[in-house]
Structure 1
Amino acid sequence: MVRFRKVITMKSPYRLMRLSGSCYRTLRGALARDHFALVKPLAQGRFGSCFLVSRKTSDYVLKAFNSNDVKRRKEKLARESKFLQRIDHPAIPKLIQVLDRDGFYGLVMEQMPGQSLADLLEWDYHFSKTEITAIMAQLIAVMEYLGRLNISHRDIKTDNILWTGEQLALIDFGSASRVSRFNSRFNPDYWGLGDVFLRLAANCDEMTTSSNDFSLAQLDLKPAQREVIERLLYIKKPYCDFQALTEDFNHAWL
């Protein structure tokens, strides 16, 4: 079992934000109508903010959308909840409730454990090759599951992946879309997988041969392993389905 340094386990995987007193009062009132209590702010993004909320003895994550965006593009924002309602996977947060009244629109979701890979990299955490292999294997399995549902996440990046040292979670389906088949010239999900791998590998002493001018060519990889990453990054013939990717990754890495 991988154990993070104490300073890592104490930090939230979300960047803190500031809110005015009036915003707090409005949000507390909206939540109280559904028997939720505001605990603290977690993160702020382009279309809204995330908060830790509680009801009875359980904690959840609330994704509250900006009021202006709710007025202009509520139908688009609501697609995230529709995707989450279809998903049933232990690595993806479950949708608990949709809050929609009086111009307020938000999603209450299961709180997933772990720290974001982005924060771990920021703290200069050095991943082992075993960890990277486990992260990639779990992430590819999640993407294969989504592929069977014809769902494309479209925002695979270190900020949206939580890691406990053993288990992975994929969050933020705000950019997700439905796909009839994976036959486009460029699929951001595959490229995102390759990008995540490179960012982790850059902080892996076992895989990097030089601390200067990091590149894929400098990684200590077997030919079959390198080919999988090159196909993810569209350097070589890209993958067209996640089942083929799973088979190649398992053969080369596991």
Structure 2
Amino acid sequence: MKSPYLLTRSNGSRLTTLRGALALDGFALVKLLGQGRFGCSYLISREDQDYVAKIFHPNDVKRRKRKLNWEIKFLRTIDHSAIPKLIQVIDRDGCFGLVMQKMPGQTLEDWLACDYAFGKSEIAIIFFQLIAVMDYLADLGISHRDIKADNILWTGDQLSLIDFGSARKMLSFDTHFNPDFWGIGDVFMRLALSCEEITASFNNGGIEQFDLTEEELLVIKRLLHIEKPYPNFRVLRAAVKQHWT
């Protein structure tokens, strides 16, 4: 859940400790960006450069240490312009967190919350860029497993994928139910419902009412497992390139 509150509304002693822990590495705490079940994210700066610090609740660090180590390992492996780089791990004074590259743009959830009406061409660009990122991750054997509007930043022409807290090693490509396929399909549905070009004849029915070609619609159905899923991201990427761009 996003928090609209300033830092002064958060726990004073905890913030003082966090400020001190960050200061040891030359970082200054700027403001709270958001908070969720497992921790908070903050805007921090060092030498006029902004970063994002993802700080975990102390109790969750103990319970989720193995998962956190997976996230750190994945981020150190990844080298992609659409995925934030891991700058540093903070682990001192009871504070454990990740300092990340600050990526440009606002989340798709923020765009939707402002009642922004996406155009079909914009959705196609987002669609293709996201699938290209997922194809890259699949080559590394990484499944993000939490593709949603909150975890995708958009500048108006460039996409970034954030939050690898749920990521796992992809032991094999699961075509029975792939959470990354489903997540991409769900994001498409959220954006499509804001697009008048796609919903011109939509009347609270199924996706069959979308103003899409049969080929475009089939891509979405296969993502949502309504039709037989794609065998991998490379085949999906080729289908999107052929029918959506």
TM-score by length of 2: 0.95
Matched, 1:169 2:160: yes
- Structure 1 position 47, deviation (Å): 0.7
Matched, 1:241 2:229: no
- Structure 1 position 32, deviation (Å): 1.0
1:187-229 CA-to-partner distances (Å, cap 9, x unmatched) read: 1000001010111010001111246415311110011110000
Counterparts in 2 of 1:99 and 1:165: CA distance versus 1, 3 Å: same
- Structure 1 position 244, deviation (Å): 0.5
- Structure 1 position 15, deviation (Å): 3.8
Equivalent position amino acid for 1:80 in 2: E
* Alpha-carbon distance between aligned partners in 2 of 1:23 and 1:50, rounded to the nearest angstrom: 14
* Alpha-carbon distance between aligned partners in 1 of 2:53 and 2:43, rounded to the nearest angstrom: 6
* Alpha-carbon distance between aligned partners in 2 of 1:107 and 1:237, rounded to the nearest angstrom: 39
Q: 27, 44, 53: which is aligned to 1:36? A: 27
SS class of match (1:154): coil
Matched, 1:253 2:241: no
* Alpha-carbon distance between aligned partners in 2 of 1:24 and 1:232, rounded to the nearest angstrom: 43
- Structure 1 position 182, deviation (Å): 0.5
1:24-67 CA-to-partner distances (Å, cap 9, x unmatched) read: 11110111111111000001011110000011111100000000
Percentage of matched positions with identical amino acids: 59
CA contact (8 A) 1:161 1:169 kept: yes
Q: 67, 87, 90: which is aligned to 2:81? A: 90
Q: Which runs of 5+ in 2 are unaligned?
A: none
Equivalent position amino acid for 1:105 in 2: F
CA contact (8 A) 1:70 1:103 kept: no
1:105-140 CA-to-partner distances (Å, cap 9, x unmatched) read: 100000001011111111110000110000000000
CA contact (8 A) 2:43 2:50 kept: yes
Matched, 1:151 2:145: no
* Alpha-carbon distance between aligned partners in 2 of 1:211 and 1:240, rounded to the nearest angstrom: 30
Counterparts in 2 of 1:217 and 1:184: CA distance versus 1, 3 Å: closer
Counterparts in 2 of 1:55 and 1:139: CA distance versus 1, 3 Å: same
SS class of match (2:198): coil
Matched, 1:127 2:115: no
Q: 88, 98, 107: which is aligned to 1:107? A: 98
CA contact (8 A) 2:53 2:100 kept: yes
Aligned to 1:219: 210
CA contact (8 A) 1:202 1:214 kept: no
Equivalent position amino acid for 1:98 in 2: V
Counterparts in 2 of 1:74 and 1:103: CA distance versus 1, 3 Å: farther
- Structure 1 position 154, deviation (Å): 0.2
Equivalent position amino acid for 2:122 in 1: E
TM-score by length of 1: 0.92
Matched, 1:142 2:130: no
SS class of match (2:166): coil
* Alpha-carbon distance between aligned partners in 1 of 2:228 and 2:53, rounded to the nearest angstrom: 40
